[in-house]
Structure 1
Amino acid sequence: MTENHSLSMYKYNTWANNTLLKHLKQLPEGICDTNIKSVFPSIIDTLIHIYIIDRGWYSILTKEYRSDDYETIKASVDRLVAETKDISLKDLEKKQQLLAADVQSFIESHDMNYRDTFSGVSMTYGEVFIHIVNHGTYHRGNITAMLYQLDQKGVPTDYGVYLYYATQA
């Protein structure tokens, strides 16, 4: 494992997302688009939410826009929502993989102890990545619950499972 904790955690997050997407692609067609009563109306909507939030944080960290520029953030979210409307799981996976590569490069080239203020909250870059990983974990859990509502099985994406597989490679 790398000594850069933010990088380790983000690699876990990427592995967990990829593991879930691989599992979802093996399920019966249409499962991800099925409307159910949950946190989000469907699995694909939950995946899109994860992507949009991750993309938003990346845009803030790379200074594409400020965290307190709510009009620009809203415009960006609206653009991403339109861009991902009716997206296939395969195309969303490609977008997620491109973003993951960009984020990993950011982590490798920036000081994770650098402190900045995001909408009035002082956080280090490392703390932002803890937040991103926690956010993804939370919603992957939502997706597991959604899968059980649809009489499908989930797939383990816990950090301990990741560490087990990482040591086997």
Structure 2
Amino acid sequence: MDAVAHFSQLARYNAWATARLLDAVRAVEEADYRRDVGLFFKSIHGTLNHLLVAEHHLWYPRFAEGASPRVALDAELESGRARLDARLREGAARWERLVAAVPAERWDGALDYTTMRGDAASLPFAATLAHVFNHGTHHRGQITAALTAQGQPCPALDFVYYLQNPSQP
């Protein structure tokens, strides 16, 4: 399998699913958006902020720059809904460009970084990138469960729906 093609597809899916979820979240009343609904990061807002932290402030710099930033996983990087929405969409769009720029020899190599605890880590590059996209899927699933519990409509986010119609918003 061609790693660039595979991970480019996952990056496009990640952006597609993120956009569909954020479109659904826009309809949620402010109190429901910020209410602790029992998610690991408590609320829809907290979980979206966690996605911003993890995907765009931790993992992206690790892959793109070889940097190992430190930021709390539950940090609120954006308190405003509109700015958080925009940053998540912008961040998701960057991954496909990053994947396209990865040299062929990198895919079978390692990603070396420093953990949040300050420990050196070395993980398989491609498998760790798969983790990033899987992590987003996990937390989007939590948010759709919260939306359902609140009686809100949820978009279909399964990868197979993306494969069937990737241009559908």
- With the length of structure 2 as denominator, give the TM-score of the two structures: 0.79
Partner of 1:31: 32
Residues 1:146 and 1:80: Cα distance change in structure 2 (over 3 Å): closer
Partner of 2:75: 81
Partner of 1:110: 102
Question: In the alignment, is the contact (CA less than 8 A) between 1:36 and 1:146 conserved in 2?
Answer: yes
Residues 1:110 and 1:43: Cα distance change in structure 2 (over 3 Å): same
Residues 1:48 and 1:146: Cα distance change in structure 2 (over 3 Å): same
Question: In the alignment, is the contact (CA less than 8 A) between 2:109 and 2:124 conserved in 1?
Answer: yes
Partner of 1:45: 46
For residues 90-140 of structure 1, the C-alpha deviation after alignment (integer angstroms, 9 at most, x for no partner) is: 21121122222332211111135141243433312x322211111011111
Matched residues in 1 for 2:74 and 2:41: separation?
A: 17
Question: In the alignment, is the contact (CA less than 8 A) between 1:10 and 1:129 conserved in 2?
Answer: no
Matched residues in 2 for 1:32 and 1:99: separation?
A: 21
For residues 31-61 of structure 1, the C-alpha deviation after alignment (integer angstroms, 9 at most, x for no partner) is: 2112222322100111111111101111111
Matched residues in 2 for 1:19 and 1:167: separation?
A: 11
Higher helix share: 1
Partner of 1:129: 129
Which range moved further: 128-137 or 14-23?
128-137
Percent of aligned positions that are identical: 24
Matched residues in 1 for 2:154 and 2:139: separation?
A: 13
Question: In the alignment, is the contact (CA less than 8 A) between 1:12 and 1:162 conserved in 2?
Answer: yes
* AA matched with 1:59: P
Matched residues in 1 for 2:168 and 2:142: separation?
A: 28
Give the CA deviation at 1:27. 3.1
Does the residue aligned with 1:120 lie in a helix, a strand or coil? strand
Q: What residue ranges of structure 1 are gaps of 5+ in the alignment? A: 67-71
Count of aligned pairs between the two proteins: 157
Give the CA deviation at 1:150. 1.9
Q: Following superposition, which runs of at least 4 residues in structure 1 exceed 6 angstroms of deviation? A: none
C-alpha RMSD of matched pairs (Å): 2.6
1:57 to 56, 59, 62: 59
Partner of 1:18: 19
Q: What residue ranges of structure 2 are gaps of 5+ in the alignment? A: 113-119
Matched residues in 2 for 1:91 and 1:39: separation?
A: 22
Does the residue aligned with 2:77 lie in a helix, a strand or coil? helix
Question: In the alignment, is the contact (CA less than 8 A) between 1:23 and 1:155 conserved in 2?
Answer: yes
